[in-house]
Amino acid sequence: TAHHHRLEVSNLAVSYRDIQALQGINFRTECSRSMALIGPNGAGKSTLLKSLAGLVRPDAGKILWRGKALVSSSHEIAYLPQRGDVDWNFPITVRGLVEMGRYPNLGLWKRYSKHDEEIVERALTAMNLLDLQKRQISALSGGQQQRTFIARALAQEAHVLLLDEPFTGLDKPAQEALSQLFRELTKEGRLLIASHHDLQTVPSIFDDVLLLKRQQVAFGPVKEVFTEETIKTAYAS
């Protein structure tokens, strides 16, 4: 259908009590694309990702995934929190975290099956984590931690990956590896939406960009809308 694997956001507005965090957000994207959320601190990037993940309830507007209202429990959408929001000392192994990706699909009434195990195995393999699967997540490097969360999203069989500043805190080689991984994931048909702080690397990593500063400044292909003018507008104080 025309709605197949498309994400549509119209007139989205979100507030926290008396703080209007976002308003007038409108965009449409689809699987096999990657999108950067760009804007200064407090622009609402995390809030937008949380709304898409169903973690924050919008005041107004619509979020449609494949033509239907997005349900917070939708297992097709995976959310990868900002590094600072994760308790990295939580006692869980790499494999344990990736296995958690199966639970949205299982619910509490179904047993973890051979099939689930195969999916977890595949996700660990794809993210090159088989050798690390017994490690605690606290013992990983930043790049490995990011890969573990992406593996969890793969185990979830998510079509949409929402990532909050995935490149922050990674060294150059890890960043290069992650952007290569982004290219592979979109090629396989996934939709990636990530908040991003490094303006210089936007064109080499992402297809589309949404510039925002509480309101939407611009949305479209990086080549067309990521201009000096729109960047200035988003970052003007």
How far apart are alpha carbons 11 and 200 in whole angstroms?
A: 29
Beta carbon of residue 237, minimum distance to ligand ATP (angstroms, whole number)? 14
Q: Which is nearer to ligand ATP, 42 or 67 (CB)?
A: 42
* First-to-final CA distance of the chain: 43
Beta carbon of residue 189, minimum distance to ligand ATP (angstroms, whole number)? 27
Q: Of residues 19, 71, 106, 130, which one binds ligand ATP by CB under 6 A? A: 19
DSSP lists the bridge partners of residue 77 as 160
Q: Of residues 7, 35, 38, 45, which one binds ligand ATP by CB under 6 A? A: 45
How far apart are alpha carbons 158 and 11 in whole angstroms?
A: 25
Furthest-apart CA pair in the chain: how many Å?
Answer: 55
How far apart are alpha carbons 14 and 207 in whole angstroms?
A: 26
CA distances from 88 to 53, 79, 84, 97, 201 (A): 21, 16, 9, 11, 27
Residue 46 binds ligand ATP (CB under 6 A) = yes
Residue 59 binds ligand ATP (CB under 6 A) = no
Number of residues counted as binding ligand ATP (CB under 6 A): 12
Collapsing DSSP states into helix, strand and coil, what is residue 28?
strand
Residue 39 binds ligand ATP (CB under 6 A) = yes
Q: Which is nearer to ligand ATP, 66 or 213 (CB)?
A: 213
Residue 213 binds ligand ATP (CB under 6 A) = no
How far apart are alpha carbons 154 and 131 in whole angstroms?
A: 18
The stretch near ligand ATP (CB under 6 A) out of 3-11, 42-50, 152-160, 228-236 is: 42-50
Residue 41 binds ligand ATP (CB under 6 A) = yes
Task: For helices 142-155 and 172-187, give the axis angle rounded to 10 degrees.
Answer: 20
Residue 21 binds ligand ATP (CB under 6 A) = yes
Beta carbon of residue 236, minimum distance to ligand ATP (angstroms, whole number)? 15
How far apart are alpha carbons 92 and 88 in whole angstroms?
A: 9
How far apart are alpha carbons 127 and 113 in whole angstroms?
A: 21
Beta carbon of residue 154, minimum distance to ligand ATP (angstroms, whole number)? 25
Instruction: List the x/- string, 164-203, binding to ligand ATP by CB under 6 A.
Output: -------------------------------x--------
Residues that bind ligand ATP (CB under 6 A): 16, 19, 21, 39, 41-47, 195
